Chain A
Amino acid sequence: EADIYQTPRYLVIGTGKKITLECSQTMGHDKMYWYQQDPGMELHLIHYSYGVNSTEKGDLSSESTVSRIRTEHFPLTLESARPSHTSQYLCASSASDGGGPYNEQFFGPGTRLTVL
């Protein structure tokens, strides 16, 4: 069973508030990812990290930011939430492949964010 956690599971917040979505994993994985999932289910990579102090933007432009100060922790922050940020946010992690086959991504349960 994957050990990757996200909090909160649900968040309803007003426009203009600053929020941080937490993601932690206990598997010692170097790689971590944030996905945004549409109501129509499609998943889009918005951020990823290959290790401590490494963060990159993904395929879908996002106003959120991330940090990776510790291997196990990869929080996502929105400085000023807007209704357009309403979505499900999924965190994932994977081991480094060391040049071998692609490694499985393990997903957290997600945070469903609603901005009013």
Chain B
Amino acid sequence: GNSVTQMEGPVTLSEEAFLTINCTYTATGYPSLFWYVQYPGEGLQLLLKATKADDKGSNKGFEATYRKETTSFHLEKGSVQVSDSAVYFCALSDSSGGYNKLIFGAGTRLAVHP
């Protein structure tokens, strides 16, 4: 079945460091790919998405490129801030089984220190 694997956390960085959170997927067909972010005590918010191969999603300085050849959708940011501390979830859309749903990775906690 379809699945998402993302790097384990926690990831701890100093402010202004470069961030990469790896995400790879297994899927039949051509799913859309997403990164969601969950700040402490809140629900999930969509950070960015890509709907087809080679698309680049971007938002708030974060970027991810849909790489079909490596089945990856790694999240990057050039210079993180303390306010980026949160849990990040990679997800794919899955329409098998007769309904649209999201399949989430396990989440990666990011802690940014001043």
Contacts and interface: CB of A to CB of B under 8 A. Distances in A.
Contact of B46 (A6, A41, A104): A104
Given A41-B87, A104-B49, A50 B43 contact: no
A109 B101 contact: no
Interface residues of A, number: 28
B100 A102 contact: yes
A58 B93 CA distance: 14
A107 B45 contact: yes
Contacts of A58: 101
A73 to B, nearest CB: 17
B69 interface: no
Given A101-B32, A109-B43, A42 B51 contact: no
A105 interface: yes
A76 interface: no
B44 A101 contact: no
Contact of A43 (B32, B45, B49, B104): B104
A42 B104 contact: yes
Which of A4, A41, A102, A107 has the largest number of chain B CB atoms within 10 A?
A102
A68 to B, nearest CB: 14
Given A40-B106, A101-B32, A104-B46, A109 B100 contact: no
A105 B32 CA distance: 13
A36 B45 CA distance: 16
B43 A107 contact: yes
B102 interface: yes
28 contacts: A2-B45, A31-B100, A33-B101, A40-B106, A41-B38, A41-B87, A41-B107, A42-B104, A42-B107, A43-B44, A43-B104, A43-B107, A45-B101, A45-B102, A50-B99, A56-B99, A90-B43, A92-B43, A94-B100, A102-B51, A102-B100, A104-B46, A105-B46, A105-B102, A107-B43, A108-B43, A109-B41, A110-B42
